[in-house]
Amino acid sequence: MDDLRKIGIGLTAVGLIFTTLGVLLLFDRTLLSMGNLLFLAGVPMIIGLKKTGKFFFQRRKLRGTACFLSGVLLVFVGWPFFGIVIEAFGFLNLFGDFFPVVLAFLRNMPVIGTFLQMPFVRAVTDRLVTKSRLPV
């Protein structure tokens, strides 16, 4: 892994942390804006500028991209609650295909995996993952 990808992973992680803190601190506009900027700067550093463009502007992901970028714009303009709601919808549409992979990875982890293997939790997560894979 080269240094650019390491920096991109760091920026994306810090962006997600800032966004989470912004939501937890009652939709703090500054934290949400910083989180969005860092996330949007980190993703192209991880997968490359050309692949980022291909990913975000695929025909089937245009609605998710439009919602995500509209949400980012609303946060910047000063409407953080509505921006995050629209951004979350776009995020789910864009990255919903990755949820089964993430869930399989988490199920193999020591403590979290034990919790996710419980019959009730497994049934709920399996149902949520299959819903996220349905075409929208």
- Helix 29-47 with 49-56: angle, nearest 10 deg: 110
| pLDDT tens figures, 32-64 | 999 999 999 999 999 999 999 999 999 999 999
Asked if 74 and 86 touch (Cβ cutoff 8 Å), the reply is: yes
8 A C-beta contact, residue 28 and residue 80: yes
* 69 pLDDT higher than 80: yes
The reported pLDDT for the residue numbered 124 is: 87
Tell me if 65 is assigned to some domain. yes
131 belongs to a structural domain: no
Cα(55)–Cα(118) distance, integer angstroms:
35
In this predicted structure, what is the pLDDT of residue 131?
60
Q: Is residue 104 part of a domain?
A: no
Q: Give the pair of three-digit tokens for residue 25.
A: 């601190």
Number of domains in the chain: 1
Q: Where in the sequence is the domain holding 23, given as residue range(s)?
A: 3-96
Q: Considering the domain boundaries, does residue 130 fall inside one?
A: no
Inside any domain, residue 62: yes
Predicted confidence at residue 99, as pLDDT, reads 81
Q: Is 89 left (phi over 0), alpha (psi -120 to 50) or beta?
A: alpha
Residue with tokens 């295909």: 97
Per the domain annotation, does 119 fall within a domain? no
Q: Domain for residue 73, yes or no?
A: yes
The mean per-residue pLDDT over the stretch 111-129 comes to: 86
E strands, the chain, are none
The mean predicted confidence, pLDDT, of the chain is: 89
